Amino acid sequence: MKQLTMHEILEKLEELYDPPKSFLDWNTPLDLLVATLLSAQCTDLRVNIVTKKLFKRCRTAQDYRDIPRDELEALIHSCGTYRVKAKHIQELSQILIEKHQGKVPDTMEELIELPGIGRKTAAIILYAVFDKLEGVAVDTHVMRLAQRLGLSKNSTPEKIEKDLMKIVPKEQWGRLNTLLISHGRAVCTARKRKCGNCVFKEQCPSSLCGNDT
């Protein structure tokens, strides 16, 4: 079986999908920062429902800092782990006010210093808001697809990100996240992957072609 190249994977994904820079709804950098934080262990669909109301109530870092904690928790409750998320939102808002004039910083180093913000969130913000490519955002879809397609043998987001950064051209680092998420949602799902319908079925090392589960 001829091994799939990264170039072939990207080319086929680009033919199939035209995803936005983020599946989360946002207007300002702060919106996207908060929405991405809320999306941990939650679907983008749910986050977009929650932020519709949240973004009307809170527009600035001051708004997030000053909103009573219980009101913020109630607003984001359905995203799960709402107590921790509310705490992080208020802590990071305080830092934005103190250190960044209330604005979202535009470097990986500054972003990952904020409570609740890891490399994945930072990479998404940098790409979607600032058009900067400083990493590959690795979420559960990206992890699963990278492993199944044979792009990484590792199992932690940090190591998978490093593997992907080595083999993916830098100009595609940002796009890779939403392309793989698109394929992960449509075809290579976690529980019932549809290998028979997959463009990679002939070459994918994890193909169950002819034996779909």
Catalytic residue set: 120, 139
Distance in Å, CB of 167 to ligand SF4, minimum: 16
195 binds ligand SF4 (CB under 6 A): yes
| Closer by beta carbon to ligand SF4, 37 or else 146 | 146
Residues 89 to 148 in contact with ligand SF4, rule: CB under 6 A: 148
Q: Retrieve residue 31's tokens.
A: 């919106």
Position 77: which residue type? H
Residue window 149-178: x/- pattern of binding to ligand SF4, with contact defined by CB under 6 A: x-----------------------------
Distance in Å, CB of 189 to ligand SF4, minimum: 8
- What are the CB-based long-range contacts (under 8 Å, 24+) for 1-9? 1/202, 1/203, 1/205, 2/203, 3/150, 3/203, 3/205, 4/149, 4/150, 4/200, 4/203, 4/204, 6/151, 6/167, 6/168, 6/169, 8/203, 9/149, 9/151, 9/200
Question: Of 72, 129, 181, 204, which one interacts with ligand SF4 (CB under 6 A)?
Answer: 204
> Is the CB of residue 27 less than 8 Å from the CB of residue 51?
no
> Is the CB of residue 38 less than 8 Å from the CB of residue 47?
yes
Question: Of 65, 120, 175, 193, which one interacts with ligand SF4 (CB under 6 A)?
Answer: 193
Chain residues that interact with ligand SF4, rule: CB under 6 A: 148-149, 187-188, 193-195, 198, 200-201, 204, 206-208
